[in-house]
Structure 1
């Protein structure tokens, strides 16, 4: 399948829209050539995409799933080259994300709208209605999250997609200047984490761990967004944040006095 054909099909499927401008931007072709690409897809795959006059762009047709050999989300990201907004992959994994949910998130992020949904939290036995203005999508390795401004708490937070109830979820076409990504200090602030072999282990084992992680002078320097620090630490299997973790953990935080101010209070002890 030609790249532009796959792009048209996957983009319309996941984002529920594709236009000539999308093609001219990504492939560097003129509008006439972009129109020819769209016409080719409509001829080769009847009713896979249809023109929506009100939106002035193409949307998925009844045969879109038949036309796609694969509807894999990672393939969509690869083909579209992550145009629009960025996604951040910490681990090479393929957690599941429902297409209808992604369409809402995509539209909310690109239009700076909010999403209203019921959320299952570990801190509560019942679901709670949330209204969030998402600005980014995060792959922590085994789950997808959105990060954005939550209206009730008036804070930037992360929400796990799998804990969001799909039934009743709605897009609220209203903007709030406070939700701008530029106001998310933790997202825009980069911090450095120094990981060292766990001091609880023997000197011989610490030498081996230093070799495993290609450490320099016994230190592995990792840089990440402050908001993604816990996800990053988890990707290195660091869940015990004490100076001397249990021997089940290979690594420890070398600059704990600095990092502790970014950790939740119940975890920095």
Structure 2
């Protein structure tokens, strides 16, 4: 058995904390371990001694400040040193999704974010939908669309976040197809009967496609360089793998379907937009054919 497999998870977590403090704050005191993990001074000393044995090239003691410092060439072993991860943690703290103790800065930098309009999902609604996914049951919901409010029977099989709202991906028993339903538009929900449907037939959900993003052709060379850097493009393009059912939301959110936007506002364009639209149409047609064949001519799989 490898040594890291024998090491208690709690100690590995403390080793991760040591590297986090060294990497992101540039300093670590023994008291940081004691206060964060509520451990004794002897235990903190053991952790520091053991870490120095395992990763001596990452840490050194500064007698002047009486603290541990990172070496110039620190290479974390226990920490996933990701800027995106850290920024997501800071965002989670700002929104209240992460408690302060989970953000390991001793002194938080000054941070803020533009206001976001929270869409609160009802806890009972989510609980019943998760249960329906596990048990392959349907739920009766009163759903408020932009055109009407009515009771529908749906059989959920997945959850999806479009960047703004959470949806449930479900078999719509009254329409004989797979659709997205915004969770916050469900104002009543109850348990329904089991439904004979196969999530594998949802080809829009199960099919992935690559979005080919490029700098907008109307940009200047200097502007293109900025956009290529912003979107981490390689060879003047950025490829994004996405489910067909989620491609629609990404395209709308990034305004990739609006061809008349000024180049500086659009910034990027989707080179294979026509291919994406065709793939969605084909997936829907093939899914309908599969459902019809499997249902043996019945009017609804849900009946």
TM-score range relative to shorter protein: 0.5 to 0.7
Which has the larger share of helix?
2
The equivalences for 1:102-181 within 5 A come to: 102-122=126-146, 124=147, 126-166=148-188, 169-176=189-196, 179-181=197-199
C-alpha distance in 2, partners of 1:197/1:105? 40
Distance 1:256 1:142, change over 3 A: closer
Distance 1:170 1:254, change over 3 A: same
Q: Which runs of 5+ in 1 are unaligned?
A: 4-71, 76-92, 265-269
Matched, 1:202 2:220: yes
The equivalences for 1:173-252 within 5 A come to: 173-176=193-196, 179-234=197-252, 237-242=253-258, 245-247=261-263, 248-252=265-269
C-alpha distance in 2, partners of 1:249/1:73? 32
Residue number among 262, 265, 271 corresponding to 1:254 in the alignment: 271
SS in structure 1 opposite 2:240? strand
C-alpha distance in 1, partners of 2:96/2:242? 24
Q: Is the 8 A contact 1:115 1:131 kept in 2?
A: yes
Query: 1:39 maps to which residue?
Result: none
SS in structure 2 opposite 1:261? helix
Per-residue deviation, residues 83-139 of structure 1 (Å, max 9, x unmatched): xxxxxxxxxx975322111111011100001111121112x1x20221110000112
Q: Is the 8 A contact 1:200 1:245 kept in 2?
A: no
Q: Is the 8 A contact 2:143 2:149 kept in 1?
A: yes
TM-score normalised by the chain length of structure 1: 0.57
SS in structure 2 opposite 1:241? coil
SS in structure 2 opposite 1:96? coil
Q: Is the 8 A contact 2:244 2:280 kept in 1?
A: no
C-alpha distance in 2, partners of 1:158/1:73? 27
C-alpha distance in 2, partners of 1:136/1:74? 22
Q: Is the 8 A contact 1:200 1:244 kept in 2?
A: no
Distance 1:227 1:73, change over 3 A: farther
Distance 1:222 1:211, change over 3 A: same
Per-residue deviation, residues 240-266 of structure 1 (Å, max 9, x unmatched): 4255643322211011231232568xx
Query: 2:26 maps to which residue?
Result: none
Q: Which runs of 5+ in 2 are unaligned?
A: 1-8, 10-94, 99-116, 282-303
C-alpha RMSD over aligned residues: 2.7
C-alpha distance in 2, partners of 1:242/1:233? 9
Distance 1:203 1:263, change over 3 A: farther
Q: Is the 8 A contact 1:95 1:141 kept in 2?
A: no
TM-score normalised by the chain length of structure 2: 0.51
